[in-house]
Amino acid sequence: MQIQISQTRLELVEGDITEMSTDAIVNAANEYLQLGGGVAGAIRRKGGPAIQRECDLIGGTSVGGAVITTGGDLKAKYVIHAVGPQMGAGDEDAKLRKATLNSLKLADEKKLKSITFPAISTGIFGFPMERAAEIMLKTTIEYLSGKSRLERVVFCLLGTDAFNCFKTELSKNLPK
């Protein structure tokens, strides 16, 4: 599924984010930037040790923050590490909104043309998929309605359930 927002194509795909060839992919990171399991583990395995080395040099970032490293051996040139909230930590919606927005802003600051997101915080951090889809899509649509230079924003979703959830939310949030 895809829609156009200003000059940007917003797409939903089902698949493996580590196979995406956008300028950057987003890692659903932890505050310490340790590439453990889930999306981060898949990025570590396919991208090689260079990504973790750069993360170690950065040292970490706050919940809602986003930092950028090389893409290592991935098809994407860069990885944007966005720290989403853990359920139960408080103010989770605002923190997920901030992680999404900071990733988009960082991509624009680096003059990237394309970025791919996973469903941030919906794995071991326990964020409900429907809520994540609504927040991430609304934030992205609002951002792209402004002065972004991004040409393509992709949400790469693992599994049919996640894809269908984001598809339903995107249908509800289509720009008027």
Report the 3 state secondary structure along the chain. CEEEECCEEEEEEECCHHHCCCCEEEEEECCCCCCCCHHHHHHHHHHCHHHHHHHHHHCCCCCCCEEEEECCCCCCCEEEEEECCCCCCCCHHHHHHHHHHHHHHHHHHCCCCEEEECCCCCCCCCCCHHHHHHHHHHHHHHHHCCCCCCCEEEEEECCHHHHHHHHHHHHHCCCC
Residue 151 Cα to chain centre, angstroms: 16
Dihedral sign for Cα atoms in the order 163, 147, 108, 4: positive
Report CA dihedral (85, 53, 36, 76) to the nearest 10 degrees: 80
Q: Report which of 36, 40, 38, 72 is spatially closest to residue 53, judged by C-alpha positions.
A: 72
Domain that residue 100 falls in? 2-171
The CATH number covering residue 159 comes to 3.40.220.10
When divided into structural domains, the chain yields a total of 1
Residue 113 lies in a domain: yes
Residue 143 lies in a domain: yes
Residue 31 lies in a domain: yes
Residue 176 lies in a domain: no
The band of 38, judged by pLDDT with boundaries at 50, 70 and 90, is: confident
The band of 138, judged by pLDDT with boundaries at 50, 70 and 90, is: very high
- As a whole number of angstroms, the distance between CA 23 and CA 8 comes to 14
Residue 15 lies in a domain: yes
* Mean pLDDT across 75-83: 98
* Predicted pLDDT of residue 176: 57
Tokens in use for 19? 């196979």
* Predicted pLDDT of residue 37: 84
The percent of residues in the chain predicted with pLDDT above 90, rounded, is 91
* Mean pLDDT across 26-31: 95
